[in-house]
Every structure is written in structure tokens, then in C-alpha cells.
Structure 1
Amino acid sequence: MTNPKICPFCGEDNLCEANIPNNNCWCNTIKVPMELRVLIPEDKRMKSCICKKCILSFKENSKLFIEKYNLTK
């Protein structure tokens, strides 16, 4: 079972609080590149949020991010 609080890439707490009513979670204000979304393992898609650290790391250097997590698509 996928834990919705765990980033599908790094395995750390994603600190997402979007499911809390009237909460303005950081994940509502950051653009997640589609190129990163397609790299989420299929069994975790739409089940957990990517953490801010991974989103920013991907935006900074997508090739290095893909190599670090051994992702291929």
C-alpha cells in the first residue's frame, strides 16, 4: 500500500497538507513539470505527492535527477 505522505522518488515525508480543510499547502502553489509527473512509478501515481525538494531538484537539473533515482522512460 502506498503511503500518501511519502515522496515517490526520495522516500521522504512530502510535507503535503492539501487534504486538510482550508489549508494552503505549498503543493498548491508550485508547478510540477509534466516531465517529472510521467516519471512517477505507475503504482504510486495519483496516490502520493512529490516533495518540494524533488520538484526543485528536477527543475534545476532534470538529467541529474533522473540519473540519481535511476529513472528511465
Structure 2
Amino acid sequence: MNASHCPRCGQRNQCAQAESATPVSDCWCFGAAIDPALLDSLPPEQRNRACLCPRCAQGLAPLKPQAAAD
């Protein structure tokens, strides 16, 4: 699994932390309120591996079906 892709839809997750080799001080995901049920709906092997993209984090439908992320 690629940490820069959303585990729900496979799109880039736009996470500054995933894109940087060093710790970052700010990213959209740091302050995002994500429904725990949404995280629980992910397969166990995809949890705590990568951020959701902003669209999925809001609980919106993915733009396209989940694709295998490299």
C-alpha cells in the first residue's frame, strides 16, 4: 500500500506528512474530523497505513471505484 493514496478510493490523499521524508507541522488531515465508523469500515489491513483523501474523510462517495495503489 502506498501511504500517499487513500485506502478507500485509491486517489492521492494530499497528506503533507505522507509526501514528506521529514515530519511536518501542518496538514489538512491534522484537524479533520473523521467519523470513526468510516475508519472502521476499512479492511483491517488498510487501517493506520495511510490517510483518507479529503473527499473520503468528509464521508462523500469516492470519485471512482477503489483502484490498486502502487
Give the structure, 1 or 2, with the largest relative contact order (CA under 8 Å, sep 6 or more).
2
Q: Do the aligned residues in 2 keep the contact of 1:16 with 1:49 (CA within 8 Å)?
A: yes
Shift of residue 55, structure 1, vs aligned partner = 1.5
**1:27 corresponding residue in structure 2:** 29
- 1:10 corresponding residue in structure 2: 9
**Which consecutive residues of structure 1, in runs of 5 or more, have no partner in the other structure?**
none
How many residue pairs match? The answer is 60
Bigger CA radius of gyration: 1
CA distance in 1: counterparts of 2:47 and 2:9, whole angstroms? 15
| Counterpart Cα distance in 2 of 1:23 and 1:43 | 27
**Following TM superposition, by how much is the alpha carbon of 1:24 offset from its aligned partner in structure 2, in angstroms?**
0.4
CA-based RMSD:
2.1
Runs of 4+ in 1 over 2 A off after TM superposition: 18-23
Normalized against structure 2, the TM-score is what? 0.71
Residue segments in structure 2 that go unaligned for 5+ positions in a row: 66-70
Name the structure with the higher helix share. 1
